[in-house]
Amino acid sequence: MTVLARERDSEGGATSSTGSTLLDTVLRFRALGLLVVLAALVAVTAAVNPRFLSGSSIRDILLAASITLLLATGMTVVVLTRGIDLSVGSVLGLSAFCTAWLLSENPGVSIPVAMLVGLGIGAVCGLFNGSVVHFGRVPPLVATLGTLYVFRGVVYFVAGGSRINASDMPAGFLDFGSARVLGVPYLILISLVVLALVAVFLSRYRAGRDMYALGSSPEAAELAGIPAGRRKLTAYVLCGALAGLGGVLYAARYGTVDASAGYAMELDIVAAVVVGGVAIFGGSGSVLGAALGAFLLTVISNALPVLNIDQFWQRAIVGALIVGAIAVDRLVALRVAESLRKKGSHVG
């Protein structure tokens, strides 16, 4: 390599480093901002009603956040690739009902087996979504909007208007839904373990880093030799599998399951991901940010009744947060582009 080439590589690395550093700084402050908002909301609510910070109240919030956090983790991986999965609520409902039916008809089935069944159902649904998007060349929004109704229709067909009650399922499975270790519910521990594993996958493994590259520039990713189709399928399968696991946790937590399980839940999941700083246009964000978004939305839904605020405002607040998050994403993109342009101009 010539000296000139080395100098160009060095300049390119400096440029990339400048843009990356700026983006990392903004996203870090954004996560800090979410923590500040979350802490302020908890403080105000606790001041109005001190029981909001009671042990039982905190456990309820953690249980409520566990399923949202799990699905938001899977959604993050898809959104990073410039995709979206609007069918996660329907996949959760299908998995929840099938798992509940399996346990009611076969009381001897263990909890790990039930989890594997839920994961399998979700993975198959995710594979179908990924195949439609990749092989069918259908835009993710359109494809998963269609499968949202397809999977929900399958749930209604399988359920046939029936409902599985808590009395129909094994007591051990229902106990699992409310069991705790050192005061922390099992369900939130499972979600946090999954969160950590996916975070490691995205940051430490090439396949995970490829998700960011694919979302940043699909054309450049393909030119760099990244197997775009395989990565997209992986993202959708992972998202579907986690939605399927969420169905198992849903059945364990609520006990009673019918065809409406998980109905319209996809809106909350997308909101958690976007509010958590995952760019809706792909290429940036983290599962940690999505987790903070999930916790923030859960706290909002639990705090508003305590503050005697109409539930209408909950949707209005979430909508405002989404609009604000997208605006911040756009500003970050413009700032990084401007920084890179100035740096390139200076180097030239």
Tens digits of per-residue pLDDT, 174-199? 888 888 888 888 999 999 999 999 99
Residue 347: what pLDDT?
A: 53
Q: What are the tens digits of pLDDT across the range 133-180?
A: 999 999 999 999 999 999 999 999 999 888 999 888 998 888 888 888
Provide the domain count of the chain.
1
In the three-class reduction of DSSP (H, G, I as helix; E, B as strand; rest coil), residue 338 is classed as: helix
Determine the structural domain holding residue 332 and report its residue range: 57-347
Residue 25 lies in a domain: no
Contact 169, 100 (CB under 8 A): yes
The answer to whether the predicted template modeling score (pTM) of the entire model surpasses 0.95 is no
Cβ-based neighbours of 21, under 8 Å, separated by 6 or more: none
Tell me the one-letter amino acid at 283: G
CATH number of the domain to which 280 belongs: 1.10.3470
In the chain, what are the helix, strand and coil shares in percent, each to the nearest 5? 80, 0, 20
Residue 336 lies in a domain: yes
The tokens for 314 are 């909950």
Contact 152, 247 (CB under 8 A): no
Residue 317: what pLDDT?
A: 78
Residue-wise burial string across 29-38, b where 16 or more C-beta atoms lie within 10 A, e elsewhere? ebbeebeebb
Contact 295, 271 (CB under 8 A): no
Q: What span, in angstroms and rounded, lies between the C-alpha atoms of 303 and 307?
A: 6
Residue 223 lies in a domain: yes
- What are the backbone dihedrals phi and psi of residue 218, each rounded to the nearest 5 degrees, phi first? -55, -40
Residue 109: alpha-carbon gap to chain centroid: 29
Q: How many CB atoms lie within 10 A of CB 223?
A: 9
Beta strands of 4-95 (E only): which ranges? Answer: none
The residues that bridge with 185 in the sheet, in sequence order, are 180
Q: What span, in angstroms and rounded, lies between the C-alpha atoms of 190 and 175?
A: 15
Cβ-based neighbours of 203, under 8 Å, separated by 6 or more: 209
Beta strands of the chain (E only): which ranges? Answer: 180-181, 184-185
DSSP code at position 277: T
Contact 86, 262 (CB under 8 A): no
Residue 235: what pLDDT?
A: 96
Q: Among candidates 219, 229, 236, which has minimal Cα distance to 80? A: 236
Residue 48 lies in a domain: no
How many residues make up the chain in this entry? 348
Residue 10 lies in a domain: no
Residue 7 lies in a domain: no
Q: What span, in angstroms and rounded, lies between the C-alpha atoms of 218 and 248?
A: 34
The tokens for 318 are 């979430």
Residue 40 lies in a domain: no
Residue 11 lies in a domain: no
pLDDT < 50: residue spans in the chain: 1-19
